[in-house]
Amino acid sequence: MAEPGPAAGSVIELQGVVREFGTHVVTRVLHGIDLRVRVGEFAALIGPSGSGKSTLLHLMGLLDRPTAGQIFVLGQDTTGLDDEALTQFRGRTIGFIFQFHHLLPAFSALENVFLPSLAARGVPDVEMRERAEQLLRRVGLGDRLHFLATDLSGGQQQRVAVARSLVNAPSLVLADEPTGNLDTQTADEVFELLRQINREEGTAFLVVTHDPRLANRCDRIIELVDGKICCDRSNSLARRPS
């Protein structure tokens, strides 16, 4: 019998994913995770500290490899890819937003956004710069293109990070507590920006959050406890565009 492949319409699919750490004393952090994120979906990943959310996100972002199981991205089985191929594939398909924006302080907003494209292509070009400018205008920073990262507010810095995550037109953006370092109003503004991009461009998002307000504005809520998915439900209460 042929091995099952990814379901149609998946941007990423995990089948039986296990992650263990240690050699003499082995600790199993993830226990046979089956998870599928569909094209254009906007999902929240919640769970208590120590539940395995960060480990799961690193695996989904192809920053780590599972101990067992398979991870398909856009139908591609990533299991057999070597490190170089995995890096290139990740750069083309997946964007990242973190709680701490990790902008380079000596570079402008514009330079911070097109750096991932520069890393992927090796040399700068006009198209790369135009894409970065377009995204910064898209996130409301058209008048801050040449400001150093250190001259931007926290909310503006996180908007730069959002633009940077989109510069290579990924099919999936993984956001790890993207509003966790912001005040409530700014957090709402950044979150709504993510939702707007999701609706208008069809980019899939998986957002890790401890904020139940934000989780309840996602279309799907996935809860991880002790390395296992204990709940995975559609959220009919998610706010829809008017």
Q: What is the pLDDT of residues 135-162, one digit of tens each?
A: 999 888 999 999 999 999 888 998 899 8
d(CA 156, CA 144) in angstroms, rounded, equals: 9
123 pLDDT more than 90: no
Within a domain: residue 16? no
pLDDT tier at 71, thresholds 50, 70, 90: very high
Q: Is the pLDDT of residue 3 over 60?
A: no
Residue 178 has, within 13 A of its CA and on its CB side, a CA count of: 31
Overall domain count for the chain: 1
Residues 6+ apart with CB under 8 A from 105: 148, 149, 150
Would you say residue 27 lies in a domain?
Answer: no
Q: Please indicate, yes or no, if residue 73 is contained in any of the structural domains.
A: no
Domain holding 210, by residue range, is 39-68+80-234
pLDDT of 1 higher than 70: no
The whole-angstrom separation of Cα 41 and Cα 120 is 26
Instruction: Say if 127 falls within a structural domain.
Output: yes
34 inside domain:
no
Q: Is residue 36 within 8 Å of 12, Cβ to Cβ? A: yes
> Between these two residues, 223 and 177, which has the higher pLDDT value?
223
pLDDT by residue (tens digit) across 89-102?
A: 998 899 998 877 77
Confidence of residue 36 (pLDDT cuts 50, 70, 90): very high
* Residue given tokens 């109003």 in the structure block: 185
Contact 191, 44 (CB under 8 A): no
Q: Is residue 94 part of a domain?
A: yes
Beta strand 172-176 with 68-73: parallel, antiparallel or unpaired? Answer: unpaired
The CATH number given to whatever domain includes residue 122 is 3.40.50.300
The answer to whether residue 236 scores a pLDDT higher than 80 is no
Helix (H) or strand (E) holding 82: none
Q: Classify residue 156: in a domain, yes or no.
A: yes
Cα distance between residue 75 and residue 36, in whole Å = 11
pTM (global) more than 0.85: yes
Q: Which residues sit opposite 96 in a β-bridge?
A: 174
Confidence label for 190 from pLDDT (cuts 50, 70 and 90):
confident
Instruction: Spell 148-161 as b/e; 16+ CB within 10 A means b.
Output: bbeebeebbbbbbb
- The predicted pLDDT at position 121 comes to 60
Let me know if residue 31 belongs to a domain: no
Hunting for tokens 């907003």 — which residue is that?
A: 109
